[in-house]
Every structure is written in structure tokens, then in C-alpha cells.
Amino acid sequence: MFMSIIFLIFRMSGIIHWNDIFTVYPFNIGLVVEIVILSIALGDRIKIIRTEREIAQVQSIGQLTENEKLKDKVNRELEQKVQERTIEIAEKNHQLVEMNEELRLQSEEITRMNLLLDSDNRKLQNNVKELVKARVMVEEVDFEEFSKIFPTDESCFRYLSELKWDNGYTCRKCGHVRFCEGKDRYSSRCTRCRYDESSTAYTIFHRLNSTS
């Protein structure tokens, strides 16, 4: 277009006197050449854009494929870890169940042993008491040893009550065998006639004052 304008100026100023097609129609020729050049450039640009787009599509497809592979890999690793963790948790739960069962058995065994020990201790204490009381009954002991065996009036009255009604209670008034607690310490009261009998009545301590 620039060259056609120059030819046109030169012709109008009389510098060029040619009357051929190139000097008469330079602008038209330049316009046609410019259109051809622009068409070629536009086609080349379209080709470049298409090529870039295809390359971008190929890259996108490759990236998507890589992402899909990475996602599959991550999913497989997660599934494997979940399975391993599930197996580990199941083993731990099984171990806990076994430990709880062992603890339960041990607890039952300890409870049984404690019950046996309590029973043996009660029997031993009763045996010791019976032996000590039997010794008092068959042997002569001094006051100091007697005080150790029966340190309080309460223990004396309790022992007399146990000794007196060892074979069961029977009311001296009406012969009834049921009784309840009386008004004095370790006394028995008949539930029928309400007769109250102390633990010292009709013994060697009959009618003795408890403070004597």
C-alpha cells in the first residue's frame, strides 16, 4: 500500500510518465497484494492458534491422564492403608477382648479367694474365741489374763448370753421359744408373755449388780 501511494504521487507530480497498469492502478494492485498478504498472515495465524490449541489439548489430556493415574494411585494407597488399619484395629480389639476375658477370670478368681480367705478368717477367729473361752472354762486364769480375754462388760454379757442360750431360747414362764431383745444388755424377752430374762438370771451371777 505504501509503494502504491508513492507511485501514485510520482505519477500525479509528473515524475513518472508511464501509462501501464502498474502506474495507473497502483493503489488497487497494492490493495489486492495487501489483502493477499493479510489472508496469508491470517491463515498462518489461524494455523498457529489451531496448533497451539491442539498442543494445549494434548497437554490437558496428558495432565488429566496423569491426574487420573495419580488419583488411582492415591486411592489404592488409601484403600491399602484403610485395610491395614482395619486389620490392625480388629487385632487390637481381639487382644482387648482376650485381655478383658483374662481380667474377668482373674477377678472372679480373686473374688473367690477373698471369699475363702474371709471364711477362713471368720472360722479362725471363731476357733480362737472358742479356744480362749474353753480355756477360761477349764483352767484357772488370773485377773490380768481374764481382762485380756474379756476386756469390757459388754464382752462379758455377750459371752454369758451365748453360753446361756447356746441350745436355743425357751421362756421360763410359758415355754415359748420365740423372743426379742430385752430392756437390759443381752437380755431376751418372750414374744408371747413379754417375760424379760437377763443373761445373768439363774446363773452364778443371779441377782448380782452389774457394777459389782
- Contact status, residue 205 vs residue 160, Cβ threshold 8 Å: yes
196 falls within a domain: yes
Q: The pTM is what?
A: 0.33
Alpha carbons 74 and 72: distance in angstroms, whole number: 5
How wide is the angle at C-alpha 125 spanned by C-alphas 153 and 107, nearest 5°? 130
Question: What is the number of domains present in the chain?
Answer: 1
Alpha carbon of 115 to those of 54, 93, 112, 118: distances in Å? 89, 32, 5, 5
211 falls within a domain: yes
Cα dihedral 75/77/81/87 (nearest 10): 90
114 falls within a domain: no
Alpha carbons 50 and 44: distance in angstroms, whole number: 10
CA 183 to chain centre: 58
204 falls within a domain: yes
Specify which residues 159 forms β-bridges with: none
Average of pLDDT values for 72-96?
92
Q: What backbone torsions phi and psi does residue 139 show, to the nearest 5 degrees?
A: -120, 155
Alpha carbons 185 and 126: distance in angstroms, whole number: 22
28 falls within a domain: no
79 falls within a domain: no
The tens digit of pLDDT for each residue in 141-171 reads 566 666 666 677 777 777 777 777 777 888 8
Alpha carbons 196 and 187: distance in angstroms, whole number: 7
85 falls within a domain: no
The tens digit of pLDDT for each residue in 1-33 reads 777 777 777 777 777 665 656 555 666 777 788
The tens digit of pLDDT for each residue in 41-50 reads 999 999 999 9
Domain of 189, in residue numbers: 153-212
134 falls within a domain: no
Residue 157 burial class via C-beta count within 10 angstroms: exposed 0-12, middle 13-18, buried 19 and up: buried
